[in-house]
Structure 1
Amino acid sequence: MSDKLKSMAAAEATSVRAASQDVLKSGAYLYPIKGIIYFATHKDLWGPFMSRIGRTLSLGMGVTSFMFFFTYVPQMAIMAFTSGPLAAISAGLLVLTESATITNLLSRSFVVQEALIDTFDGTLVARGQESLVSQGRQLKPRSGSRDTVARLGKIISRPLSRFTPQTIFRSLIYLPLNLIPVVGTVLYIVVQGKRVGPVLHTRYFELKGWNARQREEWIANHRGAYTGLGIAAFALEMIPFASIAFSFTNAVGAALWAADLEKVSN
C-alpha cells in the first residue's frame, strides 16, 4: 500500500473523529431513511423514476460489464495482498461499488437530472412548500387529483450541476481506499458523503435564490448535518443494482429536510 494512500486514510480518519459529534447531533442522517418511507407511501412521486428506469438500467449494465472486463483481474491481484483467499470476492464487491458510483454519476448528469428535480419539487409541494417551488418553476392550479408531480409545470431555473471530467475524477480518486479492508470502505463513504451532502440540496439553494457565497456560508454553518446526510445517502447509493432507486429516495429525503428547514425559518 502506498504512503500516499495511508496518509489519505489517516487525514480522513482525523477529520471524521472531529466532525462525528456534529453529525450525530444534527439528525440529518435520518432523512434518507425518511425518504425511502415517504417515497414508498406516495405513489404520485413514482412517475419520474419509472420514466427513467429503462435507460438507467441499460447504462448500469453497460458500465458494470465494462468494469468487470477491464478492472476485475487487476484489482483481484492487488487485493490478494490485503484479503488473501477472499480476494476474488472482495474484488468483485469493489468492482460493483465502483460501477454503482460511476453509473450514479453519469445517470445524474445525463439521464435522470430533470426527473430528480421533479421528485424534489413534487415532495416540497406535497409538504406545503408551493411558494418555495414557485420560485423555480410554474405550478398548475390544484385539481381533484392529489398527484403533486402532475402540478409541476415548466422549470424556470435549474441547478447548474453538469458533468465535467473534474467531477468524475474527484469521485474516483478516493476509490483506492476500498483496498483497505472494512476501515477503508468506511472512510471512502465518509469522504464521498462530505461531497454528496451539499449536492443533494443544490435544488434547494437554487429555489432560495442564494448566490455562491450564501451557499458556502450556509453549508459551513451546517457542515455536520450535510456530512451526515451525505454519508447515509451515499451508503445507500453504493448498493449494487439499487443505487438509482435510492438516488430518487435520497432526493425525497433531501426535500423533506428542506421542507422542515423552511418551517423552522418561517
Structure 2
Amino acid sequence: MSSHIKDAAIAEAKSVQEASKGVLKSGAYLYPFKGIIFFATHKDLWGPFLARAGRTVSLGLGVTSFMFFFTYVPQMAVIAFTSGPLAAISAGLLVLSESATITNILSRSFLVEDALIDTFDGTLVARDQESLVAQGRQVKPRSGGLDAISRLGKVFSRPFSSFKPEVLIRSLLYLPLNLIPVVGTVIYVAVQGKKIGPGLHSRYFQLKGWNSKQRDEWVEKNRASYTGLGIAAFALEMIPFASIVFSFTNTVGASLWAADLEKAAK
C-alpha cells in the first residue's frame, strides 16, 4: 500500500512540475501585470471604472463590516486551536480574503458587468482591433478626437454569466486552505486560477463567434496559458480593498492578450 501511495505522489508531483513548466513557458501570466501598466497609462479607459467606483466601494465596506461583525470571533475561536496566539491575526486575514472574494463576485455579477465589457472592448479598440469589436457592438468612426471608450456604441449581446451561487460557495469552501502556510495559499490560488482563466476571455470568444465546442477546444489547446493568466489575475484580486481595481486591470490584460492573438493570426 505504501508503495502505491509513494508512486501516486511521485506521479502527481511530476504532473504539477510539467504543468508549471507549461505555465511559465506560455508567458500569459504576465498579461495581468501588462494590464496594470496599460490601464494606468491610458486615462480614456478609466471612465467605466470611475463610474462604478462609488457603489463598489460601498459594497466592499458593507460586506467587510458584515463579515467582521458576524464571522471574525467564531473563526478566531476555531483558528486558535492551530495558530495559538496568532489566531487574531490569521482570522483577520481570512475574513479580509473572504470579504474580497464575496465583494468581487457580487460586484462582477450586479454592478460592473457592463463596465467590464466596455473596458475589454475599449482596450481592443485602443489596440486597433475595431473589426473584432464590431462583431459584438457598434463602433464609431475614428474622428472628432473620440477616445477608445467614446467610440463604443450599442452592445448586441453580453457574454458574462449571471450570478451563480455555486461560484461563491466554491470560493468560500476553498478559502481555509490559506490557513496552511505558503503551500495552502499556493494550492488555493492555483485551483481558482485554473477555473477563472478561460472566463477572462469570455468576451473574446463571443466576439470571435465561437460556439461552446470551439471555445472548449481552444481552451484545452492553450490550457497552460489560461491557467497562468488565471493564477496571476486571481492572486491580484485576492488583495483586500483593491480587488475591484484589479478586476478592471485584469480585464485590460486579458484584452491585450486577445489583441496579440489576433495580430499573430494575421
Matched with 1:182 is 182
Q: Tell me the amino acid that sits aligned with residue 208 of structure 1.
A: K
For the residue of structure 1 that corresponds to 2:147, the secondary structure is coil
* 1:157 positional shift: 1.8
| Deviation by residue 1:31-82 (Cα, 9 ceiling, x = unmatched) | 0000000000000000000000000001101111111112111221222233
Q: Tell me the amino acid that sits aligned with residue 219 of structure 2.
A: I
* 1:141 positional shift: 1.5
Q: In the aligned structure 2, how far is the partner of 1:16 from the partner of 1:76?
A: 33
Q: Tell me the amino acid that sits aligned with residue 175 of structure 1.
A: L
Q: In the aligned structure 1, how far is the partner of 2:62 from the partner of 2:157?
A: 32
Which of 1 and 2 has greater Rg?
2
Matched with 1:244 is 244
| Deviation by residue 1:70-98 (Cα, 9 ceiling, x = unmatched) | 21112212222332221111110111011
Contact 1:198 1:230 in 2 (8 A): yes
Matched with 2:88 is 88
TM-score, normalising length from structure 2? Answer: 0.92
Matched with 1:33 is 33
Q: In the aligned structure 2, how far is the partner of 1:72 from the partner of 1:14?
A: 39
* 1:169 positional shift: 2.0
Contact 1:12 1:191 in 2 (8 A): no
* 1:249 positional shift: 0.4
Q: In the aligned structure 2, how far is the partner of 1:79 from the partner of 1:16?
A: 29
Q: In the aligned structure 2, how far is the partner of 1:13 from the partner of 1:122?
A: 41
Contact 2:160 2:203 in 1 (8 A): no
* 1:178 positional shift: 1.6
For the residue of structure 1 that corresponds to 2:150, the secondary structure is helix
Residue 144 in 1 paired to residue 144 in 2?
yes
Matched with 1:120 is 120
Matched with 2:20 is 20
Matched with 2:259 is 259
Contact 1:237 1:244 in 2 (8 A): yes
For the residue of structure 1 that corresponds to 2:153, the secondary structure is strand
* 1:183 positional shift: 1.4
TM-score, normalising length from structure 1? Answer: 0.92
Query: Which moved further from structure 2: 14-23 or 140-149?
Result: 14-23
* 1:223 positional shift: 0.7
Residue 54 in 1 paired to residue 54 in 2?
yes
Contact 2:45 2:148 in 1 (8 A): yes
Q: In the aligned structure 2, how far is the partner of 1:66 from the partner of 1:181?
A: 26
Q: In the aligned structure 2, how far is the partner of 1:129 from the partner of 1:76?
A: 50
Q: In the aligned structure 2, how far is the partner of 1:13 from the partner of 1:188?
A: 17
Give the direction of change, closer, same or farther, for the CA distance of 1:171–1:14 in structure 2 (3 Å limit): farther
**What value does the CA root-mean-square deviation take over the aligned residues?**
1.7
For the residue of structure 2 that corresponds to 1:150, the secondary structure is coil
Alignment size in residue pairs:
257
Contact 1:82 1:179 in 2 (8 A): no
Q: In the aligned structure 1, how far is the partner of 2:185 from the partner of 2:168?
A: 18
For the residue of structure 1 that corresponds to 2:154, the secondary structure is strand
Residue 110 in 1 paired to residue 89 in 2?
no
